[in-house]
Amino acid sequence: MRVLGIETSCDETGIAVFDDEQGLLSHALYSQVKLHADYGGVVPELASRDHVRKIVPLIKQALKEANSTVDDIDGIAFTKGPGLIGALLVGACVGRSLAYSWDKPAIGVHHMEGHLLAPMLEDDAPEFPFLALLVSGGHSMLVKVDGIGQYEVLGESVDDAAGEAFDKTAKLMGLDYPGGPRLAKLASKGVEAGYKFPRPMTDKPGLNFSFSGLKTFTANTIAAEPDDEQTRANIARAFEEAVVDTLAIKCQRALKLTGYNRLVVAGGVSANTRLRENLATMMAKLNGEVFYPRGEFCTDNGAMIAFAGLQRLKAGQTEDLEVKGQPRWPLDTLDAI
Protein backbone atom coordinates (compact mmCIF):
# COMPACT_ATOMS: atom_id res chain seq x y z
CA MET A 1 0.00 0.00 0.00
CA ARG A 2 1.29 3.48 -0.91
CA VAL A 3 0.08 6.56 0.97
CA LEU A 4 0.43 10.28 0.39
CA GLY A 5 0.89 12.10 3.71
CA ILE A 6 0.01 15.76 4.33
CA GLU A 7 1.09 17.70 7.44
CA THR A 8 -0.17 21.27 8.04
CA SER A 9 -0.77 21.52 11.78
CA CYS A 10 1.24 24.67 12.43
CA ASP A 11 4.04 26.42 10.54
CA GLU A 12 5.52 23.69 8.36
CA THR A 13 4.04 22.19 5.22
CA GLY A 14 5.18 18.57 4.97
CA ILE A 15 4.33 16.13 2.18
CA ALA A 16 5.57 12.54 1.84
CA VAL A 17 4.93 9.29 0.02
CA PHE A 18 5.33 6.09 2.03
CA ASP A 19 5.08 2.51 0.74
CA ASP A 20 4.61 -0.37 3.17
CA GLU A 21 7.02 -2.54 1.18
CA GLN A 22 9.57 -0.04 -0.12
CA GLY A 23 9.52 2.39 2.80
CA LEU A 24 9.76 6.15 2.50
CA LEU A 25 9.88 7.13 -1.17
CA SER A 26 9.94 10.91 -0.81
CA HIS A 27 9.34 13.74 1.59
CA ALA A 28 9.18 17.47 0.90
CA LEU A 29 9.09 20.15 3.57
CA TYR A 30 8.62 23.89 3.59
CA SER A 31 9.26 25.77 6.84
CA GLN A 32 7.66 29.14 7.56
CA VAL A 33 10.35 30.21 10.04
CA LYS A 34 11.40 33.26 8.02
CA LEU A 35 7.76 34.31 7.56
CA HIS A 36 7.08 34.40 11.30
CA ALA A 37 10.50 35.57 12.51
CA ASP A 38 9.59 39.26 12.38
CA TYR A 39 6.68 38.61 14.75
CA GLY A 40 8.62 36.51 17.27
CA GLY A 41 6.20 33.58 16.91
CA VAL A 42 3.65 31.91 14.68
CA VAL A 43 0.86 34.12 13.32
CA PRO A 44 -2.03 31.68 12.62
CA GLU A 45 -3.58 33.59 9.72
CA LEU A 46 -0.24 33.97 7.93
CA ALA A 47 0.50 30.29 8.55
CA SER A 48 -2.79 29.23 6.94
CA ARG A 49 -2.28 31.40 3.88
CA ASP A 50 1.25 30.10 3.36
CA HIS A 51 0.03 26.49 3.55
CA VAL A 52 -2.43 27.35 0.77
CA ARG A 53 0.39 28.68 -1.39
CA LYS A 54 2.83 25.82 -0.81
CA ILE A 55 0.78 22.65 -0.45
CA VAL A 56 -0.01 21.83 -4.10
CA PRO A 57 3.53 22.47 -5.43
CA LEU A 58 4.92 20.29 -2.62
CA ILE A 59 2.48 17.48 -3.43
CA LYS A 60 3.60 17.57 -7.04
CA GLN A 61 7.23 17.56 -5.93
CA ALA A 62 6.76 14.61 -3.57
CA LEU A 63 4.94 12.54 -6.21
CA LYS A 64 7.65 13.28 -8.76
CA GLU A 65 10.47 12.36 -6.35
CA ALA A 66 8.63 9.15 -5.45
CA ASN A 67 8.27 8.36 -9.17
CA SER A 68 4.57 7.97 -8.51
CA THR A 69 1.39 8.96 -10.30
CA VAL A 70 -2.15 9.21 -9.03
CA ASP A 71 -2.70 5.57 -9.99
CA ASP A 72 0.15 4.49 -7.70
CA ILE A 73 -1.38 6.14 -4.63
CA ASP A 74 -3.66 3.88 -2.58
CA GLY A 75 -4.71 6.35 0.10
CA ILE A 76 -4.25 9.83 1.50
CA ALA A 77 -3.44 10.74 5.11
CA PHE A 78 -3.67 14.28 6.45
CA THR A 79 -3.21 15.81 9.88
CA LYS A 80 -6.63 16.29 11.42
CA GLY A 81 -5.44 17.66 14.79
CA PRO A 82 -4.39 18.89 17.21
CA GLY A 83 -3.03 22.19 15.88
CA LEU A 84 -4.05 25.57 14.53
CA ILE A 85 -7.56 25.20 13.12
CA GLY A 86 -6.90 27.29 9.99
CA ALA A 87 -3.73 25.39 9.16
CA LEU A 88 -5.44 22.04 9.82
CA LEU A 89 -8.32 22.91 7.51
CA VAL A 90 -5.93 23.63 4.62
CA GLY A 91 -4.50 20.12 4.80
CA ALA A 92 -7.89 18.54 5.46
CA CYS A 93 -9.54 20.31 2.52
CA VAL A 94 -6.77 19.45 0.08
CA GLY A 95 -6.32 15.89 1.33
CA ARG A 96 -10.01 15.05 1.42
CA SER A 97 -10.65 16.72 -1.95
CA LEU A 98 -7.82 14.84 -3.64
CA ALA A 99 -9.05 11.57 -2.16
CA TYR A 100 -12.55 12.25 -3.47
CA SER A 101 -11.43 13.27 -6.96
CA TRP A 102 -8.90 10.43 -7.22
CA ASP A 103 -11.38 7.90 -5.73
CA LYS A 104 -8.99 6.96 -2.92
CA PRO A 105 -9.66 6.39 0.79
CA ALA A 106 -8.61 9.15 3.18
CA ILE A 107 -7.77 9.18 6.88
CA GLY A 108 -7.33 12.05 9.35
CA VAL A 109 -4.26 11.46 11.50
CA HIS A 110 -3.59 12.58 15.06
CA HIS A 111 -0.51 14.81 14.96
CA MET A 112 0.98 13.41 18.18
CA GLU A 113 0.42 9.82 17.06
CA GLY A 114 2.51 10.76 14.03
CA HIS A 115 5.32 11.93 16.32
CA LEU A 116 4.94 8.87 18.54
CA LEU A 117 5.35 6.50 15.59
CA ALA A 118 8.10 8.52 13.84
CA PRO A 119 10.94 6.35 15.25
CA MET A 120 9.40 3.44 13.33
CA LEU A 121 10.58 5.10 10.13
CA GLU A 122 14.11 4.03 11.14
CA ASP A 123 15.76 0.67 10.49
CA ASP A 124 16.18 0.14 14.24
CA ALA A 125 12.49 0.55 15.06
CA PRO A 126 11.18 -0.05 18.60
CA GLU A 127 8.88 -2.97 19.33
CA PHE A 128 5.72 -2.69 21.39
CA PRO A 129 5.24 -2.14 24.28
CA PHE A 130 7.21 0.96 25.21
CA LEU A 131 7.06 4.24 27.10
CA ALA A 132 6.90 7.36 24.94
CA LEU A 133 8.07 10.83 25.92
CA LEU A 134 6.51 13.32 23.53
CA VAL A 135 8.08 16.76 23.84
CA SER A 136 7.34 19.59 21.45
CA GLY A 137 6.36 23.25 21.38
CA GLY A 138 2.77 22.46 22.27
CA HIS A 139 2.95 19.16 24.15
CA SER A 140 4.86 17.39 26.90
CA MET A 141 3.48 14.00 27.81
CA LEU A 142 4.40 10.52 28.93
CA VAL A 143 2.42 7.77 27.22
CA LYS A 144 2.22 4.06 27.92
CA VAL A 145 2.11 2.43 24.47
CA ASP A 146 1.00 -1.18 24.06
CA GLY A 147 0.21 -0.95 20.34
CA ILE A 148 -1.07 1.47 17.73
CA GLY A 149 -4.01 3.26 19.31
CA GLN A 150 -3.41 1.53 22.64
CA TYR A 151 -2.31 4.62 24.52
CA GLU A 152 -2.55 5.60 28.17
CA VAL A 153 -1.42 9.12 29.01
CA LEU A 154 0.45 8.84 32.31
CA GLY A 155 1.43 12.49 32.64
CA GLU A 156 1.32 15.75 30.73
CA SER A 157 2.07 19.44 31.06
CA VAL A 158 -0.26 21.45 33.26
CA ASP A 159 0.96 24.74 31.76
CA ASP A 160 3.87 25.46 29.40
CA ALA A 161 5.15 22.53 27.35
CA ALA A 162 8.91 21.95 27.31
CA GLY A 163 9.36 23.40 23.83
CA GLU A 164 7.20 26.38 24.72
CA ALA A 165 9.34 27.03 27.80
CA PHE A 166 12.48 26.89 25.64
CA ASP A 167 11.03 29.41 23.17
CA LYS A 168 9.75 31.81 25.84
CA THR A 169 13.02 31.70 27.78
CA ALA A 170 14.96 32.32 24.58
CA LYS A 171 12.84 35.41 23.99
CA LEU A 172 13.68 36.63 27.50
CA MET A 173 17.33 36.37 26.50
CA GLY A 174 16.80 38.38 23.35
CA LEU A 175 17.25 35.42 21.00
CA ASP A 176 15.49 35.41 17.65
CA TYR A 177 12.63 33.08 16.70
CA PRO A 178 12.65 30.09 16.71
CA GLY A 179 14.23 30.41 20.12
CA GLY A 180 14.52 26.80 21.31
CA PRO A 181 17.39 25.70 19.04
CA ARG A 182 19.16 29.04 19.55
CA LEU A 183 18.93 28.71 23.33
CA ALA A 184 20.37 25.19 23.13
CA LYS A 185 23.24 26.50 21.02
CA LEU A 186 23.91 29.26 23.54
CA ALA A 187 23.73 26.75 26.40
CA SER A 188 26.48 24.68 24.76
CA LYS A 189 28.85 27.59 25.45
CA GLY A 190 27.86 27.83 29.10
CA VAL A 191 29.79 26.56 32.12
CA GLU A 192 28.83 25.56 35.64
CA ALA A 193 28.31 28.86 37.44
CA GLY A 194 26.67 27.89 40.71
CA TYR A 195 23.09 28.48 39.62
CA LYS A 196 20.59 26.21 41.37
CA PHE A 197 17.54 26.07 39.15
CA PRO A 198 14.47 24.12 40.34
CA ARG A 199 13.40 20.79 38.84
CA PRO A 200 9.63 21.47 38.79
CA MET A 201 7.24 18.93 40.32
CA THR A 202 9.98 16.37 40.98
CA ASP A 203 9.71 16.75 44.76
CA LYS A 204 6.20 15.30 44.76
CA PRO A 205 4.75 12.08 43.33
CA GLY A 206 3.15 12.01 39.91
CA LEU A 207 4.14 12.28 36.27
CA ASN A 208 2.76 15.66 35.22
CA PHE A 209 5.01 18.49 34.05
CA SER A 210 5.09 22.21 34.79
CA PHE A 211 7.65 24.55 33.24
CA SER A 212 5.97 27.94 33.75
CA GLY A 213 7.59 28.47 37.15
CA LEU A 214 11.00 27.52 35.81
CA LYS A 215 10.60 30.16 33.10
CA THR A 216 9.79 32.77 35.76
CA PHE A 217 12.79 31.68 37.86
CA THR A 218 15.00 32.09 34.80
CA ALA A 219 13.57 35.55 34.09
CA ASN A 220 14.38 36.66 37.64
CA THR A 221 17.90 35.25 37.33
CA ILE A 222 18.47 37.10 34.06
CA ALA A 223 17.31 40.36 35.65
CA ALA A 224 19.65 39.92 38.62
CA GLU A 225 22.82 39.02 36.70
CA PRO A 226 25.20 41.00 34.45
CA ASP A 227 24.08 41.28 30.84
CA ASP A 228 27.05 39.76 29.03
CA GLU A 229 27.35 36.85 26.60
CA GLN A 230 29.03 34.38 28.96
CA THR A 231 26.58 35.02 31.78
CA ARG A 232 23.64 34.49 29.43
CA ALA A 233 25.26 31.27 28.20
CA ASN A 234 25.68 30.05 31.77
CA ILE A 235 22.04 30.82 32.57
CA ALA A 236 20.93 29.11 29.36
CA ARG A 237 22.88 26.02 30.36
CA ALA A 238 21.37 26.00 33.85
CA PHE A 239 17.88 26.32 32.37
CA GLU A 240 18.45 23.57 29.82
CA GLU A 241 19.88 21.23 32.46
CA ALA A 242 16.83 21.86 34.66
CA VAL A 243 14.43 20.96 31.85
CA VAL A 244 16.41 17.89 30.81
CA ASP A 245 16.80 16.62 34.39
CA THR A 246 13.08 17.09 35.00
CA LEU A 247 12.17 15.11 31.88
CA ALA A 248 14.64 12.33 32.81
CA ILE A 249 13.36 12.05 36.38
CA LYS A 250 9.78 11.73 35.17
CA CYS A 251 10.79 9.17 32.54
CA GLN A 252 12.54 7.05 35.14
CA ARG A 253 9.45 7.13 37.35
CA ALA A 254 7.21 6.13 34.44
CA LEU A 255 9.53 3.28 33.42
CA LYS A 256 9.43 1.96 36.97
CA LEU A 257 5.64 2.25 37.03
CA THR A 258 5.14 0.40 33.74
CA GLY A 259 8.02 -2.05 34.08
CA TYR A 260 9.03 -1.29 30.48
CA ASN A 261 12.66 -1.08 29.35
CA ARG A 262 12.12 0.66 26.01
CA LEU A 263 11.78 4.44 25.79
CA VAL A 264 10.72 6.35 22.67
CA VAL A 265 11.43 10.08 22.57
CA ALA A 266 9.83 12.18 19.83
CA GLY A 267 8.74 15.72 19.00
CA GLY A 268 10.82 18.81 18.28
CA VAL A 269 12.60 18.86 21.66
CA SER A 270 13.78 15.26 21.10
CA ALA A 271 16.49 16.72 18.84
CA ASN A 272 18.11 18.41 21.86
CA THR A 273 21.62 17.01 22.29
CA ARG A 274 21.76 17.32 26.08
CA LEU A 275 18.43 15.50 26.42
CA ARG A 276 19.61 12.65 24.19
CA GLU A 277 22.87 12.28 26.12
CA ASN A 278 21.12 12.34 29.49
CA LEU A 279 18.48 9.78 28.52
CA ALA A 280 21.05 7.51 26.83
CA THR A 281 23.07 7.43 30.07
CA MET A 282 19.95 6.80 32.14
CA MET A 283 18.72 3.94 29.93
CA ALA A 284 22.18 2.33 29.88
CA LYS A 285 22.12 2.24 33.70
CA LEU A 286 18.66 0.68 33.56
CA ASN A 287 19.74 -1.88 30.92
CA GLY A 288 17.13 -0.48 28.60
CA GLU A 289 16.96 1.05 25.13
CA VAL A 290 16.05 4.52 23.91
CA PHE A 291 14.78 5.29 20.40
CA TYR A 292 14.54 8.57 18.48
CA PRO A 293 13.53 9.60 14.96
CA ARG A 294 16.34 11.09 12.88
CA GLY A 295 16.72 14.86 13.17
CA GLU A 296 14.60 15.76 10.15
CA PHE A 297 11.68 13.73 11.53
CA CYS A 298 11.79 15.22 15.05
CA THR A 299 9.99 18.35 13.88
CA ASP A 300 6.69 18.32 11.97
CA ASN A 301 6.88 16.39 8.70
CA GLY A 302 4.74 14.52 6.20
CA ALA A 303 6.60 11.21 6.55
CA MET A 304 5.27 10.54 10.04
CA ILE A 305 1.72 11.36 8.92
CA ALA A 306 2.00 9.08 5.88
CA PHE A 307 3.31 6.24 8.06
CA ALA A 308 0.68 6.64 10.79
CA GLY A 309 -2.08 7.01 8.21
CA LEU A 310 -0.97 3.89 6.37
CA GLN A 311 -1.35 1.81 9.55
CA ARG A 312 -4.93 2.96 10.00
CA LEU A 313 -5.89 2.69 6.32
CA LYS A 314 -4.60 -0.90 6.26
CA ALA A 315 -6.80 -1.59 9.28
CA GLY A 316 -9.82 -0.41 7.29
CA GLN A 317 -10.29 2.99 8.91
CA THR A 318 -11.32 5.85 6.61
CA GLU A 319 -12.55 9.43 6.82
CA ASP A 320 -16.03 10.41 5.64
CA LEU A 321 -16.66 13.28 3.20
CA GLU A 322 -17.03 15.92 5.90
CA VAL A 323 -13.97 18.17 6.06
CA LYS A 324 -13.07 18.91 9.66
CA GLY A 325 -10.14 19.61 11.93
CA GLN A 326 -9.76 19.00 15.64
CA PRO A 327 -7.58 21.66 17.26
CA ARG A 328 -7.96 19.77 20.56
CA TRP A 329 -7.91 15.99 20.40
CA PRO A 330 -6.88 13.81 23.37
CA LEU A 331 -4.41 11.14 22.26
CA ASP A 332 -5.97 8.42 24.43
CA THR A 333 -9.32 8.69 22.62
CA LEU A 334 -7.96 7.10 19.42
CA ASP A 335 -9.25 3.71 18.31
CA ALA A 336 -6.90 0.78 18.77
CA ILE A 337 -5.78 -1.22 15.77
Was 111 annotated as part of a binding site?
yes
Was 135 annotated as part of a binding site?
yes
Detail the DSSP E strand segments found in the chain: 2-7, 12-19, 23-31, 75-81, 106-110, 130-135, 140-147, 150-156, 262-266, 289-291
Q: Over the range 303-313, which residues count as b (16 or more CB within 10 Å of their CB) and which as e?
A: bbbbbbbbbbb
Query: Which is nearest to 141 in space by CA: 152, 130, 149, 150?
Result: 152
145 neighbors 130 (Cβ within 8 angstroms):
yes
Q: Over the range 76-104, which residues count as b (16 or more CB within 10 Å of their CB) and which as e?
A: bbbbbbbbbbbbbbbbbbbbbebbeeeeb
309 neighbors 317 (Cβ within 8 angstroms):
no
C-alpha to C-alpha distances, 75 to 80, 113, 281, 318, nearest whole angstrom: 15, 18, 41, 9
Quote the distance between the C-alpha of residue 203 and its chain's center: 27
DSSP assignment of 148-213 equals: TTEEEEEEEBSSS-HHHHHHHHHHHTTPPSSHHHHHHHHHTT----S-----TT-SSSS--B--HH
The helix-helix angle for 85-102 and 44-65 (nearest 10°) equals 30
Beta bridge mates, 312: none
d(CA 247, CA 148): 24
d(CA 106, CA 9): 17
d(CA 5, CA 118): 13
Was 268 annotated as part of a binding site?
no
Was 134 annotated as part of a binding site?
yes
Was 138 annotated as part of a binding site?
yes
**Residue ranges for the binding site for Fe cation?**
111, 115, 300
**Residue ranges for the binding site?**
111, 115, 134-138, 167, 180, 272, 300
**Residue ranges for the binding site for substrate?**
134-138, 167, 180, 272
